[in-house]
Amino acid sequence: MDTKVFLERDIERAAAILRGGGLVGIPTETVYGLGADGLNPVAVRAIFQAKGRPQDNPLILHIPEASWLERYCEDVPDTACRLAERFWPGPLTMVLKCKRRTPEELETLWGGPVCSYTHFGPRVIPDVVTAGLDTVGMRCPAHPLCREIIRLAGVPVAAPSGNTSGKPSPTTARHMLEDMAGKIDAILDGGPCCVGVESTIIDLTCTPPRLLRPGGITLEQLKGVLGEVAVDPAITRLMGEGEQPRAPGMKYRHYAPRAPVTVVKGAPERGAAYIREHLSHTRWDGVICFEEYVPLFMGGDETRPVFSLGPAGDKGEHARRLFDALRAMDNTDVKRVWAQCPDEGGIGLAVANRLNKAAGFHIIEI
Contact status: 59 vs ligand TXA (CB under 6 A): yes
Residue nearest to ligand TXA (CB): 249
Per DSSP, 31 falls in state S
- The count of other CB atoms within 10 Å of the CB of residue 362 is 12
Contact status: 93 vs Mg ion (CB under 5 A): no
Angle at 122 between CA 121 and CA 124, to 5 degrees: 125
CA quadruple 178, 180, 186, 188: dihedral, nearest 10: -50
Q: Answer yes or no: are the C-beta atoms of 249 and 51 closer than 8 Å.
A: no
- How far apart are CB 329 and ligand TXA at their closest, in Å? 20
Q: CB-wise, 48 or 290, nearer to ligand TXA?
A: 48
Contact status: 212 vs ligand TXA (CB under 6 A): yes
Cα–Cα dist 232/213, whole Å = 8
Q: Answer yes or no: are the C-beta atoms of 95 and 204 closer than 8 Å.
A: yes
Q: CB-wise, 161 or 308, nearer to Mg ion?
A: 161
Strand partners, 203: 95, 210
Strands 186-188 vs 4-6: parallel, antiparallel or unpaired: parallel
By a kind-dependent CB cut-off of 5 to 8 A, residue 28 interacts, out of Mg ion, ligand TXA, none, with ligand TXA
Q: CB-wise, 160 or 286, nearer to ligand TXA?
A: 160
- How far apart are CB 162 and ligand TXA at their closest, in Å? 7
Q: CB-wise, 31 or 256, nearer to ligand TXA?
A: 31
- How far apart are CB 248 and Mg ion at their closest, in Å? 11
Per CB under 6 A, the segment of 30-38, 72-80, 274-282, 300-308 that binds ligand TXA is 30-38
Q: CB-wise, 312 or 350, nearer to ligand TXA?
A: 350
Per CB under 5 A, the segment of 66-74, 76-84, 159-167, 202-210 that binds Mg ion is 159-167
Q: Is residue 41 within a helix (H) or strand (E), and if so which, with residue range?
A: helix 41-51
By a kind-dependent CB cut-off of 5 to 8 A, residue 93 interacts, out of Mg ion, ligand TXA, none, with ligand TXA
Helix (H/G/I), strand (E/B), else coil: 309:
coil
By a kind-dependent CB cut-off of 5 to 8 A, residue 133 interacts, out of ligand TXA, Mg ion, none, with ligand TXA
Among 40, 130, 161, 172, binds Mg ion (CB under 5 A): 161
Among 80, 84, 159, 211, binds ligand TXA (CB under 6 A): 159
Among 17, 28, 189, 263, binds ligand TXA (CB under 6 A): 28
Q: 342 to each of 145, 205, 296, 327, 345, how far by Cα in Å? A: 31, 31, 18, 19, 8
Q: 218 to each of 15, 93, 113, 204, how far by Cα in Å? A: 31, 12, 48, 16
Contact status: 95 vs ligand TXA (CB under 6 A): yes
Per CB under 6 A, the segment of 13-21, 198-206, 329-337, 346-354 that binds ligand TXA is 198-206
Per CB under 6 A, the segment of 29-37, 300-308, 317-325, 337-345 that binds ligand TXA is 29-37
Cα–Cα dist 274/292, whole Å = 15
Contact status: 93 vs ligand TXA (CB under 6 A): yes
Cα–Cα dist 65/336, whole Å = 44
Q: CB-wise, 247 or 306, nearer to ligand TXA?
A: 247
- How far apart are CB 357 and Mg ion at their closest, in Å? 11
Q: CB-wise, 140 or 261, nearer to ligand TXA?
A: 140
Cα–Cα dist 86/55, whole Å = 33
CA atoms within 13 A on the CB side of 268: 18
DSSP string, 330-356: HTS--SEEEEE---STTTHHHHHHHHH
Chain residues that interact with ligand TXA, rule: CB under 6 A:
28, 30-31, 33, 57-60, 93, 95, 130, 133, 135-137, 139, 159-161, 198-199, 201, 212, 246-250
